[in-house]
Amino acid sequence: MQLGLVGLGRMGFNMRKRLRAAGHEVVGYDRNQEVSDVASIADLVQKLSGPRIVWIMVPHGDPTRQTVEELAGLLSAGDLVIEGGNSKFTDDQANAALLVEKGIKYVDVGVSGGVWGADNGYGLMAGGDAEDVERAMPIFDALRPEGPRDEGFAHAGPVGAGHYAKMVHNGIEYGLMQAYAEGFELLAASDVVTDVPATIKAWSRGTVVRSWLLDLLVRALEEDPELEQLRGYVSDSGEGRWTVEEAINNAVPAPVITAALFARFASRQDDSPAMKAVSALRNQFGGHSVQKS
């Protein structure tokens, strides 16, 4: 099957590799011409035979919107655009509305698998009309992990459902990572456990907390047993925030995901203004000692 792929960063580059290994013809474009197959998106469209399928893998927000707008002016009725970045699900409605004016189809896909996806496959969550999703199924089957389709791919619902599902997936990921991180810190702070990396590695098989994320933590600790080479600063891609927003909008209690997001915010403070206020209050009402800067 023939596919145009816009965006050959960490994810897109490996997706092209996996698709080609499965026998698909992929024409890739990236601003970095060292990895690009063509000089422009217009060139990419010209190299594809109609009806075309073009997959977008660029950063969410303006880069995605601008790419959709450009493709709307280049593609023809009956072509299909797949948006596989980490866009907010509400952006999908605007993207689809813009393209439908030209008769161009739209499917949004949440993609999980990170830099390991080229070898292990990607978990895929699609949103869009059933016939459009089915049309792209050979591509999805090549990208997903080997095994039963329903263990690596889902048609989650109409346009927007794929990115909504990926948003919730990433919110859960925030909570899982925070729990492992807190367990690591507690073990490291204790005088009882003397080999923290070995203890965490022993959880890798047979225990109820085993997971791929745990395997990645074991790998990180093998490379740097006390994580001394890293700063305790953690950014967020936006999906954790959107998950919390949706939890509020739907009156769904999500204390673990919310706390994990706020922990990331706390990691960016060298000196917390809020904790200064708490220290001042304790000193005022109880005469507790304070540390001066």
For residue 173, indicate whether it is catalytic: yes
Catalytic residue among 166, 185, 201, 226: 166
Write out the two tokens for 101. 């004016």
Catalytic residue among 17, 173, 201, 246: 173
For residue 222, indicate whether it is catalytic: no
Residue type, 245: E
Would you please indicate which residues are annotated as catalytic (active-site) residues?
A: 166, 173
